[in-house]
Amino acid sequence: MSLAKHASLCIAKDRLAIALDVPDAPSAIDLVDRLGDTVTWLKVGMELYYATGNSLIAELQKRGYRIFLDLKLHDIPNTVAGGIRSTARAGVDLLTVHAGGGSSMLRAAADAVGRQDRPRLLAVTVLTSIDAPQLNDLGVSDSPAEQVLRLAHLAWKSGIRGMVCSAEEVVNLRNELGPEAYLVVPGIRPAGSATDDQKRIATPHDAIAAGASMLVVGRPVTKAPDPAGAATAILDEIANASAV
């Protein structure tokens, strides 16, 4: 491998998080063993975190991984602030809160982090499993794109500089919020992959080209016969898109 290609892949590894959507620690460790050093970031969601707590996070950190803790905190401001302080002690790097929790909750979340380097907060705007009819069921007549923009501005004014959105909205958010915004895009599906329960999806190349800072990929990697090979293919797409 040339030095230039090696450097581009190293940069790409900081832009990909693999979702450990498994139910327990043995399953997570087995998957991580199969991934090896292919990736840097691992996303731990509610199912796995509630089953294993901080012990698994400590084990993954010991192996050299950076942790994206996806708890989508959404509660009264004081409770969310306390949850953030607790996760900060675990040393996680990224942590999600729901932008729909409102400005008071978002400000309390930002204040709980304060001047610490981590966790970096990500405000979840509209889940990638939600489309316009489902938003309408919730009493929101606007399109997903309009609702994402509204919630992102709310989070931004509350002091949060990271957002989670689908690839369909990332161009607008990048244009609205500028280069400082850290935009994380789930619902990533390589060409030919099943969409599963995702509604608003994109390929890795298209999401990066549209302005995403980081991509989150789950089943296309974790359910692949060769997870490391599947992750490497996505990293190549990220590197190629970044170079354009």
Confidence tier at 129 by pLDDT (50, 70, 90): confident
pLDDT at 128: 81
Separation between Cα atoms, residue 242 and residue 94, nearest integer Å: 22
Answer whether residue 42 shows pLDDT above 80: yes
Domain boundaries, the chain: 3-243
CA distances from 3 to 8, 52, 192, 232 (A): 9, 39, 31, 17
- Does residue 139 contact residue 211 with C-beta atoms inside 8 Å? no
pTM: 0.91
Nearest CA among 216, 223, 170 for reference residue 69: 216
Which fold would CATH assign to domain 3-243? TIM Barrel (3.20.20)
Confidence tier at 112 by pLDDT (50, 70, 90): very high
Residues with Cβ within 8 Å of 115's Cβ and at least 6 positions away in sequence, in order, are none
Reduced DSSP (H G I as helix, E B as strand, rest coil) percent helix, strand, coil of the chain, to 5: 50, 15, 30
Separation between Cα atoms, residue 172 and residue 143, nearest integer Å: 13
3-state secondary structure of 142: coil
pLDDT at 9: 73
Confidence tier at 116 by pLDDT (50, 70, 90): confident
Confidence tier at 189 by pLDDT (50, 70, 90): confident
State the catalytic residue, choosing from 43, 72, 157, 199. Answer: 72
Exposed e or buried b per residue across 25-38, where buried means at least 16 C-beta atoms within 10 angstroms of its C-beta: beebbebbebbeeb
Q: Read off the tokens for 164.
A: 């989670």
72 assigned to active site: yes
pLDDT at 202: 83
pLDDT at 243: 60
